[in-house]
Structure 1
Amino acid sequence: MQLPVMPPVSPMLAKPIKQIPQGEHSFEPKWDGFRSIIFRDGDEVEVGSRNEKPMTRYFPEVVEAVLANFPDRAVIDGEIVVDDASGQRLDFDALQQRIHPAASRVKLLSEQTPARFVAFDLLALGDEDLTERPFAERRAKLEEALANAKPPIHLTPTTTDRDVADRWFRQFEGAGLDGVIAKPLDCLYEPDKRVMFKIKHERTADCVVAGYRVHKSGEDRIGSLLLGLYNDSGELASVGVIGAFPLERRKELFVEMQDLVTTFDDHPWNWAKQEEGARTPRKNEYSRWNNGKDLSFVPLRPERVVEVRYDHMEGVRFRHTAQWVRWREDRTPESCTYDQLEEPVRFDLGEVLGLKT
């Protein structure tokens, strides 16, 4: 492979901001998948990742689509995503399952849950390095390069109209998207630098604290608090964790939690009665995605309520780690239900991708 921009390349990043910015920007949906810079030189294809490690072997159908749709020599930045069973929303859980060590499993999943690649920037075309060109020029060349591309290769929609971007921000969450990206029209492509801006959904919810994991730095401090919400059946469902605390706060929380420590026999997440498909791991279970990482936890009586910030849901769980706001001594655990969560307006993924009119 001989290209003007060679792998590995760290993707250009985005700085979080609260509001859709004013000024000369190009706005586009924020896709919720695996960030990937894809390199093609003739018959050679490499699928890069956010951490610069190749993902080529995990997505054979994407490689095939790149060979059928990319220019002969190109470097394109974008996102690998997977639809849910309905085809109307993104499914990040299904996407995570695609990273598997067994070649036979990779092949099977490529047929059962095929991925799409959504392109949004062009780093090189032919012998030309475009990283020193303004984004407006790179976008125009990307549109030309993928003018005849067919699914599962897509060109992300863009607009320079702030009102349209605001509408996308509110609507596209219903299709599983993560917010809006704003790119200055004159920005160069700067790997691993926060040159763009991202505007994500931010909401609050009151959750039950039902357990904790100790921090890797010591057994006397909290690593994360496990959060629950009561579902329609009156069961406490695991919805995610809070994990970002200053060191001293980790120690304080550890002391605070000790009076609530209980056994699994008295806990709603009793592994002896665990139903198939439950997403919180059993004690001493290890994460498939983090080799050797112990995901066991210390059970707590589900008596305390905490208010957290979250961006959006992935199924019945928070998509990302929630952020601490405050204890809610005025709330009872039983009042912490899914009913409090804001429902995004349903929106079809096919409409975002231009597959439906």
Structure 2
Amino acid sequence: MKSAGRVPLPRRIQPMLATLSDKPFDSDDWIFELKMDGIRAVVVKDGSRLDMWTRNEKSLTRRFPTVAAALAELPADSVILDGEIAAFDEQGRSRFSLIQPRIHLTRSKDIAEADEAIPVYFCAFDVLYLNGFDISRFPLIQRKAVLRKLIPNNEGWVRYVDHIDAHGVNFFKAASRHGLEGVVAKLKQSPYRQERSRYWLKIKAEKTDHFVIGGCTPPEGSRKFFGALLLGLYDRAGDLIYVGRTGSGFDDDALAFVHRQLQPLMRSASPFKETPAEVRKSKWTEPQLVCEVKFSDWTPDRKLRAPIFQGLRDDIDPRQCVLEESLPAPESEIRNPKSEIPQTRVELTNLDKVFWPEDGYTKGDLIRYYDRIAPYLTPHLLDRPLVFKRYPNGIHGEYFYQKDAHDYTPSWIRTENIWSPDVERYIRYFIGADREQLIYIANMGAITQNPWSSRLQFIDRPDFVIFDLDPVEASYDIVQKVAIELKAVLDELHLRAYPKTSGASGMHVYLPVLENTFTYEDVRVFAEAVASIVTSRIPEVATIERVVRRRKSGTVYIDFLQNVKGKTVASVYSPRAEIAAPVSTPLLWEELQKPIDPTRYTIRTIFDRLDQHGDLFAPVLTDRQDISSFLNALRARRRK
């Protein structure tokens, strides 16, 4: 654990969330845990102080004092655990409905009586920090070994969530047979990420989910308070989508309690993007309450079938209630990839080797992608030296960087000798050319294209300024906020810039400049000055601190040092060595006003966007702008 390095104890952790998957699977790379039906909680213990928080940062410590007292006795000076507060029925199944009646209790006497009537436990499935060491980046399987030593038995109020290796299908069948909620598949080698991730996949046997309440229908007959709750989920654009209504699952006390919670939230207009005619005479509420609902299935038009109310969930942020697209279980889409690829001079090899094991994408899938994306990508690579990060055994295998073309590189592959002062010799670079060259490079196991900012014709004169927005344990909405402020600064200078996802966790903003006019030093100085202005305006979320350990968590590093000869970032439309095979994708500035999921665009889905918008990054090649007046002003200021 020494390699982790001592770091201060974080006070807040956003729990890692699982992505919905459509069916169970077997894989030696994954472990499988039972899906709990309780309250997600993060525990932070620092000496004698203990905090326990929900997903939306509400304290649970006073609500569950018995569990908190047991956690305080853990044999660790400081620790952060992730897990679930759960109560179990007579068959040993976790049931949120057993906890729901006590969630809003505040009096110590009532809480003690509830503890006596229905015991609750903290079921720990991850450990992120221990005695001064941040272990969140360690592989999951190592973190669970640490957790097992910390909780050696399951006899008390704190329990270890065990798992099985590899055999997800039979495990899921057993969970279904016993009436359990489902299973969670977790990649053994995955780090802990404070966001929704494809490293964890939830496969549900019993269909329950969390929904935002947007209103209620009037009561009918002898029913009091209201008829049914109107339910919604947020889509990727941030709009609340109506998905159905539930009037089942309420007793008189529940009707009265929910009605009291709704009264302060009443509003005149529907919060839903579109409101069906049959509920237009309803009463509307601010979308601030979340409830848990059990249902039999989804209809083809994305409405709930037979929904039954289970209880309110004040531990869930409404914005986390989203329409999820169920991922396919990991398996390859291309059964015979070689037959899918048009004629090429390249001798293709190992086409069925799996490069993205979580998604089943193979080397053949990568080559097919580059063949199809070539008309959009090659203009952005043409005449530029390229650097590769090769993954001969897929994204979780050993990788290495390559600049030099091998002696056996075919003569029809475009290369060029360029002097490198760093190594004091010529490097034989691959040069961006055509579709055949893309296929050749992909066949080498190179997933991402990293081109220079300058072309051979003007090797010392870059074509654009690059702002590389690199989050420091910050969510993507913070990245968007920094990008929007960056645009505001450039707007004031009457300059146009073009954003794209990095394909990973960050964003790249390109400002094209006049051809053969500015040096790398010019664009670096310009980028640093603009980055400094952005940082001065929003210092709470933006930084230009170069020393990594000094950067505050939750900020975005504006890396202006990418504007150096030989430095590169992933090109537009390049896949990345990340789960789901995300692609660096151009964005419209107006899209940054709503939540963006940077993993939405992948080697499988990017073409729908291209059909809709075309190449949004094409202006980067033509919209050349003059930054000389700004540079002159900077130089004049420095001379004073």
Give the TM-score taking structure 2 as reference length. Answer: 0.35
CA contact (8 A) 2:15 2:195 kept: yes
Match of 2:181 in 1: 178
1:146-194 C-alpha deviation (Å, 9 max, x unpaired): 11453221111211122xx333323334666321111111111111232
Q: Aligned partners of 1:158, 1:68: CA distance in 2, in Å?
A: 24
Residues 282 and 149 of structure 1, relative CA distance in 2, 3 Å threshold: closer
CA contact (8 A) 1:32 1:176 kept: no
CA contact (8 A) 1:83 1:91 kept: yes
Q: Aligned partners of 2:195, 2:241: CA distance in 1, in Å?
A: 31
2:16 is the alignment partner of 1:42: no
Root-mean-square deviation (CA, aligned residues, Å) is 4.2
Aligned amino acid, residue 294 of structure 2:
H
CA contact (8 A) 1:242 1:321 kept: no
Residues 189 and 284 of structure 1, relative CA distance in 2, 3 Å threshold: closer
Instruction: State which of 257, 281, 302 in structure 1 corresponds to 2:255.
Output: 281
Aligned residue runs from structure 1 range 23-34, under 5 A = 23=27, 24-34=29-39
Instruction: State which of 166, 169, 175 in structure 2 corresponds to 1:166.
Output: 169
Shift of 1:71: 2.8
CA contact (8 A) 1:133 1:188 kept: yes
Structure 1, gaps ≥5 residues long: 205-213, 217-222, 227-239, 255-267, 270-275, 295-303, 305-317, 328-335, 339-357
1:185-230 C-alpha deviation (Å, 9 max, x unpaired): 11111112323111112679xxxxxxxxx955xxxxxx6899xxxx
Q: Aligned partners of 1:123, 1:153: CA distance in 2, in Å?
A: 16
Match of 2:156 in 1: 151
2:113 is the alignment partner of 1:108: yes
Q: Aligned partners of 2:111, 2:41: CA distance in 1, in Å?
A: 18
Residues 44 and 3 of structure 1, relative CA distance in 2, 3 Å threshold: farther
Shift of 1:118: 0.8
Q: Aligned partners of 2:240, 2:38: CA distance in 1, in Å?
A: 34
Match of 1:88 in 2: 92
Instruction: State which of 6, 10, 18 in structure 2 corresponds to 1:6.
Output: 10
Q: Aligned partners of 2:179, 2:91: CA distance in 1, in Å?
A: 11
CA contact (8 A) 2:231 2:242 kept: no
1:26-63 C-alpha deviation (Å, 9 max, x unpaired): 11111110011111222221111111222111000001
SS of 1:160's equivalent? strand
Greater percentage in strand: 1
Match of 2:365 in 1: none
SS of 1:197's equivalent? strand
CA contact (8 A) 2:207 2:296 kept: no
SS of 2:59's equivalent? coil
| Larger RCO, structure (CA 8 Å, separation 6 or more) | 1
Q: Aligned partners of 2:240, 2:163: CA distance in 1, in Å?
A: 44
Residues 82 and 293 of structure 1, relative CA distance in 2, 3 Å threshold: farther
Aligned amino acid, residue 106 of structure 1:
I
CA contact (8 A) 1:242 1:323 kept: no
Residues 12 and 249 of structure 1, relative CA distance in 2, 3 Å threshold: closer
Match of 1:243 in 2: 231
Q: Aligned partners of 1:116, 1:284: CA distance in 2, in Å?
A: 26
Instruction: State which of 105, 121, 124 in structure 1 corresponds to 2:129.
Output: 124
SS of 2:191's equivalent? coil
Aligned residue runs from structure 1 range 335-354, under 5 A = none
CA contact (8 A) 2:179 2:206 kept: no
Residues 174 and 8 of structure 1, relative CA distance in 2, 3 Å threshold: farther
Q: Aligned partners of 1:95, 1:136: CA distance in 2, in Å?
A: 30
Of residues 116-125 and 166-175 in structure 1, the stretch that sits farther from structure 2 once superposed is: 166-175
Structure 2, gaps ≥5 residues long: 1-5, 220-227, 267-277, 279-291, 309-640
Shift of 1:103: 3.0
Residues 5 and 149 of structure 1, relative CA distance in 2, 3 Å threshold: farther
1:72-119 C-alpha deviation (Å, 9 max, x unpaired): 3211111100123x3633231221222223333222212222211111
Q: Aligned partners of 2:125, 2:200: CA distance in 1, in Å?
A: 13
Aligned amino acid, residue 183 of structure 1:
K
CA contact (8 A) 1:13 1:193 kept: yes
Aligned-residue identity in percent = 25
